[in-house]
Amino acid sequence: MIGRLADHVVESRGAAVGTGAAVVAMAGPVSVGKSSLAAELAAALADRSLVTEVVSTDGFLHPNAWLTERDLMARKGFPESYDTAALLAFVDAARRAPAGLAVPEYSHVTYDVVPVPERVLGSCDVLVVEGVNALSATQGGVDLAVYVDAAPEVVEAWYVERFLRLCTDPAPDSFFVRFAELDRDARIDLARWTWRSVNVPNLTEHIGPSRRFAHVVVEKGPDHGIARIVDLRAA
């Protein structure tokens, strides 16, 4: 199935705007597996001799200090917590000439943007920009827009699994070290509360509605595998 998604990328690359990289935007709920799918897509495109770079929109989040000053920490991941102008400028620059672009980075250990990012893009044929706001920020202004989806109860379970994993033996500088003393049941309760009070509203109000900008929808099954790919342009 990943080969079919790669086919869509190849087709869109033929009609790409610009002389640099063709841009694929990939959005979907928190914990639906966008990063893993983007990595799989990059590997499939490498088999077709296409150099692909993957960039997360998390790197374009405003720093925690900026969010705290504006009382927006509880809205982290919502549209107003991102530097959308910087993200759009990055995409535009990549379409012209990606080589040498500095990539803003985010640490899921410290739960904050990296102050001095070290990653620099090389020359590439395809740039995959993945994140919850990838479609809402670009609003169809990319070569291929992909929405990744799964059943709500399945995504919630994946979120809880990821939360528990991050709370297991966290590094001293990890954001999740504060939850290390909680027992498993308390961690699960906290994860579910966060999912339902923060992630569900964001999904309902912002992430889900961005599906209207998608060219292709990738539906995932409980095993994390691709169950179906729907080409909305053929509808």
Residues 145 and 213 sit within 8 Å (Cβ to Cβ): yes
Domains of the chain listed by start with CATH number? 2-234 (3.40.50.300)
Going by C-alpha positions, the residue among 107, 13, 12 that lies closest to residue 61 is 107
Tens digit of pLDDT at every position of the chain (235 positions): 899 999 999 998 876 555 689 999 999 999 999 999 999 999 999 999 999 999 999 999 999 999 999 999 999 999 999 999 999 999 999 999 999 999 999 998 899 999 998 899 999 999 999 999 999 999 988 999 999 999 999 999 999 999 999 998 888 889 999 998 899 999 999 999 999 999 999 999 999 999 999 999 999 999 999 999 999 987 6
Residue showing tokens 């694929």: 24
Helix (H) or strand (E) holding 166: helix 152-167
Per-position b or e across 47-70, b if 16+ CB within 10 A of its CB:
eeebebbbbbbbbbbbebeebeee
Residue 1 has what pLDDT? Answer: 85
Angle 24-29-35 from CA coordinates, rounded to 5°: 50
Model pTM score: 0.94
Q: How far apart are CA 75 and CA 82, in angstroms?
A: 10
Name the burial class of residue 84, with classes exposed (0-12), middle (13-18) and buried (19+) by CB atoms within 10 angstroms of its CB. middle
**Both tokens assigned to 36:** 């893993």
Residues 41 and 127 sit within 8 Å (Cβ to Cβ): no
Name the burial class of residue 115, with classes exposed (0-12), middle (13-18) and buried (19+) by CB atoms within 10 angstroms of its CB. exposed
Residue 199 has what pLDDT? Answer: 97
Residue 17 has what pLDDT? Answer: 55
